[in-house]
Amino acid sequence: LVRYKESQTLILVATNLFGRGMDIERVNIVLSYDMPEDTDTYLHRVACVGRFGAKGLAVTFVADENDAAILNEVQNCFEVQITEIPDEIDVSTYIENR
């Protein structure tokens, strides 16, 4: 964790336990392999992306109707529109100076 905070390591893999109470800056991408169980957990997972005006990208895999229902709750709760990931993504949309 120290190496990540000091930008010596660029990739950090974490569990759901890591999502709460950890203050980490400069997170460009969060990949959620499984859908969080509720809107609060979703927020804690992706809240570190694009902080302080930085760019960021959050990707969550939606596997079934239950996942889709939770994603819909997230959109309604936070008044956001979450779209499918396009086939190609311009790196400059989620990483500064690219």
Nearest to 4 by CA among 19, 23, 20, 32: 23
Residue type, 60: T
In the predicted model, what is the mean pLDDT of residues 31-46? 88
Read off the tokens for 53.
Answer: 């005006």
Q: Which amino acid is at 21?
A: G
- Residues 6+ away with beta carbon under 8 Å from 23: none
Q: How confident is the model at residue 94 (pLDDT cuts 50, 70, 90)?
A: confident
Q: What is the pTM of this model?
A: 0.75
pLDDT digits (tens, 9 = 90+) for 20-34: 666 677 777 888 888
Q: Is the pLDDT of residue 96 over 80?
A: no
Calculate the average pLDDT of the chain.
82
Task: Dump pLDDT digits (tens) for 56-85.
Answer: 888 899 999 999 999 999 999 999 999 998
Domains plus CATH for the chain? 26-93 (3.40.50.300)
Q: Judge contact between 65 and 35, C-beta under 8 A.
A: no
Which strand (E) or helix (H) includes residue 39? Answer: helix 39-46
Residue 57: count of CB within 10 angstroms of its CB? 18
